[in-house]
Chain A
Amino acid sequence: MFDSLLSTNIISIADWQLWGVIVAFAVTSVTTCWVFFDSQRNQVSATFWRLITLVAALIVTPSATLRLFPYLQAGFSSQILQWLALGGAVATVISFLSLILYAVGLGVRSSAAPSQLQEMDPEPVEANEADPAPSPAITGPQPLVEPTLQIALEPEVEPEPTPESLAWLVITAGPRAGDTYRLGEMTDIGREPCCNDIVIDDPALSRQHARIRYEDGVFVIYDLASANGTLLNNQPVQRAELHNGDRLQLGQTHFAFMQVVNSPDTQDAQDEQTSQASESVLLTVV
């Protein structure tokens, strides 16, 4: 019914069974390796998918072996061979689906949780050396590619906070006037609850409207191709630096940008005189 590799006709196009077996074996092995190494590189827990793909590969292996080396089939009844073939086909499909679902799960996870420092300068590899035994449960061969991005730093590694890193958006109009939102390294603003740090239920806001990043002591706002644009002090902007007291308008929501300015010496002389004057007044009263 089929040519084996032992015959002089090595491969024939009509050998759909042989091709099927080769494809099955290739798919399951590639899938298993992909899931294992990708989850290890991304430091993502994917035990379930690893298990499924591994089991699928194990199921395909005897069927594939018997097809490729037909002289081994002498010891098995045809029924067993058929079951093995069917199991192999099913395992291949499951393996392929597992790969897709694993990738989807990764995609959902990465868009749902904007990690704090991941998009800033990638930390050098020294962090990897300091931690000799990272988490993965599977003791497979380590990937040759060193992970250069750390997902999250331990709290004690955070640098000293500086006063100018303190900034907020304040809603200045409407029913939520006075609400403050603390800005971090990266803050997304929009209507969509899933992917934004600041969620505003304003129909004039896009789902992903703007992003504010902290770049070297300055907060910069980026308009994320929003429908109604981002206005900074009544000027439409794509990318702009924010300064204390700037007014922002996203859709129909008005914000003020508030930042602690670390320069206590630049107080107006007026205020100095005021304080001294009021001091002297009170002293005489008392």
Chain B
Amino acid sequence: MSDSPQAPPAPTLLLDEAGPLFAWLVSLERSTWGELYALPWEGITLGSNPMNDIVLHDPLASPMHARIHVLEIDGQPRCQIQDLASTYGTWVNGVRIVRHNLADNDFVTFGDSHFCFKQLAPGS
């Protein structure tokens, strides 16, 4: 084991990646009510195209509808959602957004697909 060549070290990332992100999207669609999608550090894309991490089965969803990526804001990991020029828009708490920093309990809508964003505050 020690004689085999070492793999190149993983690229250092902006955030300390130890442990999970503790951020989820909760589906509020009737067919998948309450289903949790754990958000990874590398972010996700959403849309009707099957290539997306979360596939939206909604006629109002664009093939590449939105994406969520993780930024560090004030020393904390925050999820930022970005609309990818979708036809019916991405809405957070009833406001149409282009780019928005998500907070715990934000209600996110992609076209007509409803989700709730949940994130755990850092431990007490």
**CB neighbours of B51 from chain A (8 A):** none
> Which single residue of chain B is at the shortest CB-CB distance from A272?
B95
Tell me whether A178 and B20 are in contact in the complex, defined as CB-CB below 8 angstroms, given that A172-B120, A275-B92 are known contacts: yes
Quick check: A170 and B120 within 8 Å, CB to CB? yes
**CB neighbours of B58 from chain A (8 A):** none
Closest Cβ–Cβ distance, residue B101 to chain A (whole Å): 6
Closest Cβ–Cβ distance, residue A115 to chain B (whole Å): 20
Quick check: B118 and A260 within 8 Å, CB to CB? yes
Closest Cβ–Cβ distance, residue B68 to chain A (whole Å): 14
**CB neighbours of B28 from chain A (8 A):** 163
Tell me whether A264 and B107 are in contact in the complex, defined as CB-CB below 8 angstroms, given that A161-B34, A279-B99 are known contacts: yes
Q: Any chain A CB within 8 A of the CB of B121?
A: yes
Cα A172 to Cα B121 in complex, Å, equals 11
From the candidates B33, B36, B93, B124, name the one contacting A267 in the complex (CB within 8 A).
B93
Q: Any chain A CB within 8 A of the CB of B75?
A: no
Quick check: B103 and A268 within 8 Å, CB to CB? yes
Chain B: how many interface residues by the 8 Å CB criterion? 31
Which label, helix, strand, loop or mixed, suits the secondary structure of the B interface? loop
Closest Cβ–Cβ distance, residue B124 to chain A (whole Å): 5
Query: Using a Cβ cutoff of 8 Å, how many contacts connect chains A and B?
Result: 81
From the candidates B19, B100, B120, name the one contacting A275 in the complex (CB within 8 A).
B100
Q: Any chain B CB within 8 A of the CB of A166?
A: yes
Chain A: how many interface residues by the 8 Å CB criterion? 34
Q: Any chain B CB within 8 A of the CB of A233?
A: yes
From the candidates B94, B101, B120, name the one contacting A274 in the complex (CB within 8 A).
B101
**CB neighbours of A274 from chain B (8 A):** 100-101
**8 Å CB interface, B18-49 against A:** 19-22, 24, 26, 28, 33-34, 36, 38
**CB neighbours of B38 from chain A (8 A):** 178, 180
**CB neighbours of A170 from chain B (8 A):** 22, 120
**CB neighbours of A234 from chain B (8 A):** 124
From the candidates A161, A245, A260, name the one contacting B120 in the complex (CB within 8 A).
A245
User: 1/0 contact trace for A117-147 toward B, CB 8 Å?
Assistant: 0000000000000000000000000000000
Quick check: B124 and A260 within 8 Å, CB to CB? no
Q: Any chain A CB within 8 A of the CB of B76?
A: no
**CB neighbours of A279 from chain B (8 A):** 97-99
| New contact pairs (20) apart from A267-B103, A275-B100, CB-CB < 8 Å | A170-B22, A170-B120, A172-B22, A173-B123, A177-B20, A178-B19, A178-B20, A180-B24, A182-B34, A234-B124, A245-B104, A247-B123, A260-B116, A267-B93, A268-B103, A271-B101, A271-B103, A272-B95, A274-B101, A279-B97
Q: Can you list 12 A-B pairs with a CB-CB distance of less than 8 A?
A: A172-B120, A173-B123, A178-B19, A178-B20, A180-B36, A261-B105, A263-B105, A265-B93, A271-B101, A274-B101, A275-B101, A278-B101
Closest 3 CB pairs of A and B: A178-B20, A275-B100, A264-B107
